[in-house]
Structure 1
Amino acid sequence: MDVTSLVAKSVRQAREAKKLTLDGAAAATGVSRSMLAQIEKGEVNPTISVLWKIANGYKVSFTSLVEDRQPGVEVLHQGEPLAEDEGRYLNYPLFPFQDQTRFETYRIVIQPEGALKAQPHLKGSSEYITVFAGQVEITVDKESFALSQGDSIRFPCDVPHGYRNPGTEPAELSMLIYYGD
């Protein structure tokens, strides 16, 4: 299933599980009714920021909106990324949230000068990031941290935060988001 169709199905199922009308969903997420309808019909491929608004509004994990859940052993092959910042910030969803693990993982590639300002995630959640290549600047609630290859950071992500590549080479990161109790 392609990403647009998967997102359409998952967003519709999440809304219906919450017993929300499109108007109620728009109020909960801050995403317009017409945009939600287009997403659910598979007419548009939403940005990462829009998907985070939907996930936070529905109080579900981000990956529950972008991953097809299959039981048992999973081998992941690189799929289509979700793009932001005119393609300079690429998010490759990996392992989706599961109730027993309470986390989800991503591979992030940020081109030079690429950036993403992230919305706060669910209360009590934390991010764990390791830089495998390049440089990245992580901002957490107005404080900035410079990381290079081999560096890692953990921070509460229920506050405004962001990622930026100040270097001249692509930055490659591993991101784990843990959802507390």
Structure 2
Amino acid sequence: MDINARIAARVSSLRKERDLSLDALAHKSDVSRSMISLIERGQSNATAVVLEKLAAGLGVTLASLFEESAANGGPLIRRSAQLEWRDPQSGYIRRNVSPPNAQSPMQIVDVTFPAGATVAYESVERDRSVHQQIWILDGKIDITVGAETYSLEPGDCLAFRLDRPTAFHNPHRKPARYMVAITTDALRP
């Protein structure tokens, strides 16, 4: 199954598991009903920004949308099984490194962010707090969390909650590569 078909199946499966209609998910995610329908049918290559909104509306992390719906959740995933996805808007490439549905509160994602690219995520109310740490492996990148901008270089690590608008920008001539560690808190009452 290619990555866009996997995303389509996963969004549809998560929406049905949560007993959400297309209209209800559209309301929760601020993504149009027609766009959600196109994504679920595999007829749209959604951007990272749209997928992040859907993930928040479904109560999962963005990384969760790239997992197989019926994954067994074993403790190992080989490099050859870690699918890559390219954001059609910015060209950034992400690869889920963590085994899908593993019994772990953490997800790890490997990202290659092109020179000159920008991605800006809005803040959306979530059922769970999502925490991220960005560890720069190669290149440089600027990350804005709320009103604060951080210029990161190899070896730097930035920790923050996904509760404010967040933007990634690479104003440099070389791609940046970084790892993202993601955890979520328990369900809010």
Both proteins in one fold, TM over 0.5: yes
Pair 1:95 & 2:120 matched: no
Please state how far the C-alpha of 1:146 moved relative to its aligned partner.
1.1
Whether 2:12 is the aligned partner of 1:12: answer yes
Equivalent residue, structure 2, for 1:2:
2
**Which SS does the other structure have where 1:6 is aligned?**
helix
Contact 1:96–1:103 (8 Å) recurs in 2: no
Aligned pairs, number: 180
Q: Distance in 1 between matches of 2:53 and 2:100?
A: 17
User: 1:83: which partner in 2?
Assistant: 87
- 1: CA distance, partners of 2:100 / 2:27: 25
Whichever residue aligns with residue 154 of structure 2, its letter is: Q
Deviation of 1:99 (Å): 7.4
Q: Which one-letter code corresponds to 2:112 in the other structure?
A: V
Deviation at 1:163, TM superposition (A): 1.2
- Is 1:153 equivalent to 2:158 in the alignment? yes
Distance (whole Å) between structure 1 residues aligned to residue 99 and residue 54 of structure 2: 16
Identical aligned residues as a percent: 29
Q: Is the 8 A contact 2:73 2:100 kept in 1?
A: no
The verdict on how the C-alpha distance between 1:92 and 1:42 changes in structure 2, with shifts beyond 3 A counting, is: same
Q: TM-score, normalised by structure 2?
A: 0.86
Match of 1:65 in 2: 65
Partners of 1:44 and 1:138 lie apart in 2 by 28
Matched, 1:106 2:109: yes
**CA separation of 1:35 and 1:85: change in aligned 2, threshold 3 A:** closer
Structural RMSD (CA): 1.9
Distance in 1 separating the partners of 2:87 and 2:122: 16
Gaps of 5+ in 2: none
Structure 1 SS opposite 2:84: coil
Q: Distance in 2 between matches of 1:48 and 1:18?
A: 22
Equivalent residue, structure 2, for 1:143: 148
Contact residue 84 and residue 90 of structure 1 kept, 8 A = no
Unaligned runs of 5+ residues in structure 1 are: none
